[in-house]
Every structure is written in C-alpha cells, then in structure tokens.
Amino acid sequence: MRRLSTVELMLLATILLWALNLSVTKYILTHGLLPLPYATVRYGLAALIFVGLTLAAEQTLRIERRHVAVLVFAAVTLWLNQLAFVFALDLTTATTIGLLLGAIPIFAAIFGLPLGRERLTGRFWLAAGVSFAGVALVAVGSGGDVSGGYAGILLGLATGASWAAYSVAVTPMMQSYSPLRVSAVVIPLAWVLLALTGIAQSADQDWGLGWEIWALLVGATIGPLVLTNVLWFRSLHRIGPAKATLAVNLQPFVAAVLAVILLSEPLSLWQIAGGVLIALGILVVRRRAPGIRGTSD
C-alpha cells in the first residue's frame, strides 16, 4: 500500500480538525459558554497567537494602504461568518451544519463571478441546482426534528456563504502577504467586532466553567483556527487549489460522522441523501472549474 505523502497528511489533518471543530464547538455551547462569549474568547486568543507568530517570523504587520479596505471587508465577512457559525450550532445539530458546509465551493464560485475570477457555464448551474437540492433534503431531514432547526439551517447556509465571501476577498492578498500576516491583521479586526457585538452576552456569562471546557476552547483555537491555517496554505502552495479543495470535499461527511459518534446526534436518510447530492454537485462542477476554493471554520 502506498504511503501517504507529506502534503496528503497535511490535508488529512486539516480536514479532521475542521470537521472535529463542529462537534467540539457544539459541546462547548451545550455545556457552558454562550455563543458570543465563546466566539469572543476564541478569536481573542487566536488574534494574540497570530500577531505573535507573525512578529516572530516577519518582524512586521505592515499592510499597504491600498489593501486596507479589502482587509477590513474581509474582517467584516469573517465577523458575520462567526456570528452565523456559533448561532447555527446553538440552534441545530453539528451534523446538519457539517453537511450544509459542503455547499461552500458553490457560493465561492458565485461570489467570484462579479470579480471576473470565475466563468460559470451551464454545467456549473446544473451542479449548483443539484447541490441546493441536497441542501433542501438536509433541511427536510433535520428541520422538523430540531428545536429552531430551520433558523439553524438558514444560519448554516449563511456560515457557508460568508466563509466563501471571506475566501474570495482574502485570496488576492496572498499574492502580496503571507497567510500569517493576513490573519494577524484580519482576525484581530474581526475579534473587535465580535467583542463589541457580544458585550451583553459576555456580561451575563457565568465564567465559572470547568477545566474541560477551557481545554476544549483552547484546542478549538489552536487546532481548527491556527494550525489549519498553516497546513491549508502550505498544501495550496505544494499542490495548488484544485487538488487541495477536492480533498476538502470530504469534510462535510467527516464532520457528520464525527458528530454522530461523539455527540450521538441523529442522521436521517434524508440528510444522507442531501449530503450525497451536495457532494455530487461539487464533483460535477470540479470537472470544469478546478479553481473554486472551499474551506470551513
């Protein structure tokens, strides 16, 4: 049997950490932290780590004035992404959100169209229709059984759409700056917005949590937010976005399986069928649009 290459191991680790983050975040929100305090603490810690790593590696956080507006826009989309992410997981299951995030590449292609980065053919729109039919099946399979399910599904779609918008906005910056420096600027800006938005919830939060919750929060920051940033962009540099993002299409099902195993969440046949259609749509569009990117929180 062929041994996995270094880049394949990096991609595998990235996929597992992103997928695991859904279950970990759901557990934290269920057992202690409110959504906005969780996002605020997590992004505050990540901001400190990224700034420290960037200063150690590059000795500067300098950004050219012509790029400031783009990075501010990226920070706003990341802020919206985190709002949608934590409230989606607060309202519905990690299984459902994991499956819905499979639609991220479709959103990324649509958002790239006005910028001239994508040429969307009839094949793409067919694939998009198939994927969103899958989204409808996921909704049918979960919305009626979960408290706040349909609101959670809409927020899950908003999570995918906002992450796609963030990716489209920030990708050109990688031509001028390292991923570390971009993250060291964007994540602190997003943290400020999260902290301001979460003032009321943070004031009501009971911070007397057990060590397990704090350990999981630190792990959810260092692994899925910091380490995957390094692994993902190194993988892109080694094999390009086409092959890398094909591997990431495994994430929705990995996330769903982990949620079923770790959280004992239900997974209906409708949800499975919906996940298959979402994946099928992505596979169809990949045959003609290999540059579409897709990642997760």
Count of domains in the chain? 1
Q: Does residue 172 lie in a domain region? A: yes
Q: Does residue 22 lie in a domain region? A: yes
Angle between helices 179-197 and 35-58 (to 10 degrees): 150
pLDDT tens, residue by residue, 181-193: 999 999 999 999 9
Q: Does residue 227 lie in a domain region? A: yes
The residue range of the domain holding 120 is 6-286
- Note the pLDDT of residue 94: 85
Q: Does residue 295 lie in a domain region? A: no
Q: Does residue 291 lie in a domain region? A: no
Which amino acid, 49?
Answer: I
- Note the pLDDT of residue 119: 59
**What's the whole-model pTM score?**
0.80
CB 256, CB 97: distance < 8 Å:
no
Q: Does residue 69 lie in a domain region? A: yes
Residue with tokens 């963030």: 166
Residue with tokens 């997974």: 267
Q: Rounded to 5, what percent of the chain is helix, strand, coil?
A: 80, 0, 20
pLDDT tens, residue by residue, 38-68: 999 999 999 999 999 999 999 999 999 999 9
Q: Does residue 94 lie in a domain region? A: yes
Rounded CA separation 272/274 (Å): 5
Rounded CA separation 38/221 (Å): 11
Q: Does residue 18 lie in a domain region? A: yes
Q: Residue 293 — very low, low, confident or very high, per pLDDT cuts 50/70/90? A: very low
Output the average pLDDT for the chain: 80
Q: pLDDT: is 129 or 116 the higher one?
A: 129
